[in-house]
Structure 1
């Protein structure tokens, strides 16, 4: 697929010369809005009988999100800003302390082995609009099948790059972009991109990374109840990936039935495809025989989830199969990432080489009982046939989520979420068994 340097050219050639006139133009200020999100986050990970220390941390996060309107005219210009601030409330002491029973660094970055008291960053994005097509360059948080920004901790993961989104054709949304860096959830630094299993350069501790992730694709609303998707993603020198998706909702005389089908085809790109390149560290995790666990990207993954909904109840069953020598590749800096799968859970994502996963889930919306805003979900995931030198390995995870959002009143939107997970595995590196708890209180305050 042809890469897209034109994204950068558009940003440099059209946005910069007109920067000085933005704030004077009608529409830029009138359509601007901003909100402040407060997030109080507690995390507790019990590693059971593992030698890995437990995790218990508590922190307060602030997210200031500003979005301007567009200047008037054929070409409209604007700017977005995202300010992030994290403050430590309680942590696990020093990560290098001998005999410690808990370790810090999950919610805050470390300095000399100890979590910092606070950390902050500012992300900016210039934007341009022509008809129903928008271009953004700067800080982005894409939520697409081939690149999905993670927001599972105190502060969100962000990316740096450019993206074009077009809705010129009815029922069709087209997206294309190029990303260069990512900023982890507990960090203030932007780093080049990588994947799980990328090796170190021989003789050094430098992880192999890439400064170019290209993506393009679209969503087509075939009918009211049928959505078709195709996306392409390419991390230079690591992998190429095709995604195909279908989502269909069938109204029934009683309730409805939803089918969610997703298929990823992933292969090597550039140096990952050559023996010499893999020797440099351009590798993926997987199982390649004879005890080899790092090598060439080679994966097909099919995922399905079927849900019957009735009067607040939702019953789901699913099946997923990962085929090939490698695990399914996705952008992963090693410090928290998301993948566009129903199996992307609190602990595992069930994407290992050869893995087969069965899914069972039940969700209930208490609005059906007259308690709007209260929801609960319990789910179970059983994975087996994980490729290894000792044969097929197994893992399982049980997740429980209870959430409540105030539906009205002076604190409308105030939310409390408790997430609990029990995880057991023969295949996990480091912590094979773990019990996880997350408690989050959040509130978004509109400023203007």
Structure 2
């Protein structure tokens, strides 16, 4: 048994003896969430070459799959006393509904030995937690950070989770301090845990450390600084500033500024399994992290209308880097299903990332909340991103790419099916040169959460 699992089991045993303590049960929450998802990725480039291409029997260029996910969450309160203790537990179950006949591809669901999807997969995670004053510590395997240097992904049937320990402190007014160390990840299409890595690397690490703070300088202005280190891969600094200017009761202007500075760490850049090209494109030093990325976003809101415009610049020496276990394999060389990750850039869009070396991206989005015209729960948006000056592998010459995304969301507000939500999303991506294949992607997601307590 792993030491971390043993320590967690001991902690849970101690907490179980205190389960009757006031606050532990009274403040507990138990919920069951259901997600049904249809995923259709139309590989346009493959269709264009289908007449001359040769593909394995039964394989198709497109990916069309449907899955069902269930997530049972128990979140306890804290026991009484100077230091309060609690437990969080999560059970996940994914079911393959459709996606055979050659349409299954890695990433949406776990792969079976014959290359199709497994019929179902499941995993369980739990955290022990403690609270002292305004400081909380969590230790376990069901962590889902949402920080500038790490964003847990929830873009498929089941969510991505992490194993390790985190601390959040709000002892000082207007200041939030976050710190932690993560050791493993559980992918959104996997029952297994893996080491931490970067997509494109064959090695992994069991040490991702981070620390940072959010300081509310004024009620309208928040400043951020974070540092993270994936041992033997990269170090990353983040600076952020968010300001909301209230023009009137129903009108505001928001400014959001972000800056990342990433560099190599340890074995990275020395050759071997710790070298990688995180997202394709040019690298000044092959396999070595060397990147600076800044972005600015401005949003004007008036009633139900919101118009967002922004720009992002990725430096020329290498692409932006983030935690992603997409290249981690099992003992038989099969993908672990741990791929797919989010990151804290405005260009983390439905299909593409716009994060390769040299990319200049201008983006915009318009959204509307139909509650303003008497239809609460209905929202719609359309976004467009265009990236230029992307450096090719050789460093000589550039190319461009663009993406257009649209979505409509509706959540029933009352009645028997209150809380039932549906989201329809459609994206179109086109690129030049060494860009990923052109794609048209559609997702239909139905969510429902039932709260038992």
TM-score normalised by length of structure 1:
0.89
1:425 match: 431
Once the two structures are superposed, residues 224-273 of structure 1 have per-residue CA deviations (whole angstroms, 9 ceiling, x without a partner) of 21111111111000100011111111112572111111111111111114
Alpha-carbon distance in structure 2 between the residues aligned to 1:439 and 1:106: 17
Q: Work out whether residues 426 and 432 of structure 1, in 8 Å CA contact, stay in contact via their aligned partners in 2.
A: no
Q: Work out whether residues 107 and 340 of structure 2, in 8 Å CA contact, stay in contact via their aligned partners in 1.
A: no
- The 1:421/1:19 distance shift into structure 2, 3 A limit, reads same
1:136 match: 138
- The 1:344/1:280 distance shift into structure 2, 3 A limit, reads closer
1:235 match: 230
What secondary structure does 1:367 align onto?
helix
Alpha-carbon distance in structure 2 between the residues aligned to 1:82 and 1:426: 43
Q: Work out whether residues 38 and 444 of structure 2, in 8 Å CA contact, stay in contact via their aligned partners in 1.
A: yes
Q: Work out whether residues 249 and 256 of structure 1, in 8 Å CA contact, stay in contact via their aligned partners in 2.
A: yes
* Superposition map of 1:391-406 within 5 A: 391-406=397-412
Structure 2 residue 306 is the aligned partner of structure 1 residue 314:
yes
Once the two structures are superposed, residues 57-99 of structure 1 have per-residue CA deviations (whole angstroms, 9 ceiling, x without a partner) of 0111101111011111111111101111111110134xxxxxx
What secondary structure does 1:38 align onto?
strand
Alpha-carbon distance in structure 1 between the residues aligned to 2:325 and 2:93: 21
- The 1:387/1:49 distance shift into structure 2, 3 A limit, reads closer
* Superposition map of 1:170-249 within 5 A: 170-198=173-201, 207-249=202-244
1:283 match: 276
What secondary structure does 2:44 align onto?
coil
2:441 match: 436
Q: 2:355 aligns with which of 332, 338, 351?
A: 351
1:110 match: 111
What secondary structure does 1:49 align onto?
helix
- The 1:111/1:223 distance shift into structure 2, 3 A limit, reads same
* Superposition map of 1:46-61 within 5 A: 46-50=42-46, 53-61=61-69
- The 1:89/1:15 distance shift into structure 2, 3 A limit, reads closer
- The 1:233/1:324 distance shift into structure 2, 3 A limit, reads farther
Q: 1:119 aligns with which of 101, 107, 121?
A: 121
- The 1:428/1:435 distance shift into structure 2, 3 A limit, reads farther
1:203 match: none
Q: Work out whether residues 121 and 191 of structure 2, in 8 Å CA contact, stay in contact via their aligned partners in 1.
A: yes
2:53 match: none
Cα distance, 1:395 vs. partner? Answer: 1.1
Alpha-carbon distance in structure 1 between the residues aligned to 2:390 and 2:162: 31
Once the two structures are superposed, residues 27-51 of structure 1 have per-residue CA deviations (whole angstroms, 9 ceiling, x without a partner) of 2111111111111100000001326
Once the two structures are superposed, residues 281-316 of structure 1 have per-residue CA deviations (whole angstroms, 9 ceiling, x without a partner) of 433435236xx7x42111000011111111211111
Alpha-carbon distance in structure 2 between the residues aligned to 1:54 and 1:309: 39
Q: Work out whether residues 22 and 71 of structure 1, in 8 Å CA contact, stay in contact via their aligned partners in 2.
A: yes
Alpha-carbon distance in structure 2 between the residues aligned to 1:39 and 1:16: 29
Q: Work out whether residues 71 and 91 of structure 2, in 8 Å CA contact, stay in contact via their aligned partners in 1.
A: yes
Alpha-carbon distance in structure 1 between the residues aligned to 2:221 and 2:183: 34
Q: Work out whether residues 134 and 164 of structure 1, in 8 Å CA contact, stay in contact via their aligned partners in 2.
A: yes
What secondary structure does 1:78 align onto?
strand
Cα distance, 1:14 vs. partner? Answer: 9.8
Alpha-carbon distance in structure 2 between the residues aligned to 1:340 and 1:238: 19
RMSD (CA atoms): 2.0
Q: 2:19 aligns with which of 23, 42, 45?
A: 23
Cα distance, 1:19 vs. partner? Answer: 3.5
Q: 1:149 aligns with which of 147, 152, 157?
A: 152
Alpha-carbon distance in structure 2 between the residues aligned to 1:403 and 1:183: 28
Once the two structures are superposed, residues 151-187 of structure 1 have per-residue CA deviations (whole angstroms, 9 ceiling, x without a partner) of 0011100111100011111111111000111111110
Alpha-carbon distance in structure 2 between the residues aligned to 1:69 and 1:401: 37
1:336 match: 340
Q: Work out whether residues 15 and 77 of structure 1, in 8 Å CA contact, stay in contact via their aligned partners in 2.
A: no
Structure 2 residue 386 is the aligned partner of structure 1 residue 382:
yes
1:300 match: 292
Alpha-carbon distance in structure 2 between the residues aligned to 1:288 and 1:436: 29
Cα distance, 1:333 vs. partner? Answer: 1.2
Once the two structures are superposed, residues 80-132 of structure 1 have per-residue CA deviations (whole angstroms, 9 ceiling, x without a partner) of 01111111110134xxxxxx4x2344432111112111111101111111111
Q: Work out whether residues 15 and 87 of structure 2, in 8 Å CA contact, stay in contact via their aligned partners in 1.
A: no
Structure 2 residues without counterparts, runs of 5 or longer? 51-59, 327-338
- The 1:427/1:156 distance shift into structure 2, 3 A limit, reads farther
Q: 2:79 aligns with which of 68, 71, 78?
A: 71
- The 1:355/1:220 distance shift into structure 2, 3 A limit, reads same
